[in-house]
Amino acid sequence: MMPIHVRGGLFSAGDGHAAQGHGEVDLNAIETGLRGRFQFFVRKDMQLRWPRAETATHWIVMGLNSNFDEAMKMAVRETIDFIVERFPHLTREEAYMIASVAVDYHVTQAVERYKRDPPE
């Protein structure tokens, strides 16, 4: 699920990687072409601030910021929002506790930080 903040906003998919480690610490990955099939649904019942995804086995929330701490704060806030929306009998405090004990957070890109300050 992806919020569209601009009327007439379009969709783009790209930058396919055949292999890349979690974190992408420099700009290297094994690039590949992509082929996909997408289906879109307008969800007027949802008011999202950031993209979310759902697979057959996982719900995925995101935090996007060039500052790691800010990105994690965003991801945790999105997690809390998602949990209380999906399970309305839970409080925000309970959702925060669940975020700590039952959610796996993954860093997808450390590359921006290391472009500015590469390790020696």
Provide the CATH number for the domain around residue 60. Answer: 3.10.28.20
83 located within any domain: yes
Three-state DSSP state, 88: coil
* Global model pTM greater than 0.85: no
Going by the DSSP 8-state scheme, the letter that residue 56 receives in this structure is S
Does residue 97 belong to any structural domain of this protein?
yes
Instruction: Report pLDDT for 75.
Output: 93
Structure confidence at residue 4 (pLDDT): 72
Q: Tokens 């969709």 belong to which residue?
A: 11
Is residue 9 in a domain?
no
Domain that holds residue 51: 44-116
On whether residue 77 sits in a domain, the answer given is: yes
Number of domains in the chain: 1
Asked, for residue 58, whether it belongs to a domain, the answer is: yes
In a domain, 87, yes or no: yes
1 within some domain = no
Tell whether 52 is covered by a domain.
yes
- 10-residue mean pLDDT series, the chain (120 residues): 74 79 74 83 81 88 86 94 95 97 84 66
Place of tokens 């396919």: 16
